[in-house]
Structure 1
Amino acid sequence: MRKLTEKRLLVATHNKGKLDEIRAMMAPYGIEVTSAGEMNLPEPVETEDSFIGNARIKARAAMLATGLPVLADDSGITVDGLDGAPGVYTADWAETPNGRDFMQAMNRTWAELDARGAPEPRTAQFRATLILMWPDGHEEIFEGVAPGHLVWPPRGELGHGYDPIFIPDGHDLTYAQMDPAEKNRISHRARAFHKLESVFA
């Protein structure tokens, strides 16, 4: 596995919540983190049907635009009672003419589970795929999964996305009720990041 020796890393995201999580995880390594959003890079169209494929699209676009090593993330929630949906389309379920509305997405998810008569507990998994891409195109891939179940109504004001309705296994609070440091310790992204840490050794 290739080691990362550069001290500046571009994160290919326009999502502030995601950037804050990654920046906090990177802090102990002395790596300066900037984002595609902060550099006003356009968001590439995600045309793949897998988390790896879409993460690679984002990484390559940002790397070609800047010449920096890039960390890209594609993540989402897979709901067993919906045959794995929304999956790679997690953000799409939140799209509105005025931007993303995750309350809309959570309402749709719960309504579709009700329509199917999905039994409790309504199990789901948050999934994260990280791709670290160097300017020469070399890449390393790291995946993390956090199993849990969905609850209704939404609970908590912290976090982002589906966090208010997701309780990870072994806990009784939603991601959105947890202290961010605790969520960052156990999340799907943290599990992928724990594997990524091997490139800093």
Structure 2
Amino acid sequence: MEVAKPNRKDRSRQQILDAALIEFEQHGVEGASMEALATRAGLTRATVYNLFASKEEIAFAIVHRASTQWGSAFRRRLEAGENARLLLRDALLAAARWHSEYPRIAMATLMRALSTDTEMEAPNGRASFRGLLRDVLALGQKQGVIRADHDPMPLTFIVLGLFIPTVIHALQTGKPLTADQIDWLLQLTLEGIGARSERK
């Protein structure tokens, strides 16, 4: 079966994202200019503005593109019904590693995610990383490894509410998160931070 070639608009979007990946890591999201992005992408500044409203939108699109690339493997594991806790750990570790590889983009998008009410959802209704985590938690509820007395979306916010500041701290200290640290984070998330109480 012949795969359809991307149209000109999609090709231009990819050129912009490729150029921005380099520009943002060299100069930061704030330090890069739309003019420099356009030049590096081989496009006009008007074309860049026609496709993206701001540098921040481009930065989030870069993150979404990356999460889509490695997220498909997790979707396959999800559909196969693998252990949800291991899936959750591996998905968070993959995200942490990507953010460690592109720290300037990561800091700009993660800090904005904490400081605003942005939903960080995928464009055009496509699958998002947050949606993947929600679905993994829903699987965990069916498997009995995640509490089932709440909708999985609020549980997703709790996981991300601990994960995002932990990644930011790792980026600020220059110490990438390890699998053991992700396991520790999940233990705190799933078991809580209070002292164990005697069950009556």
Higher helix share: 2
Higher strand share: 1
Q: TM-score normalised to the size of structure 1?
A: 0.29
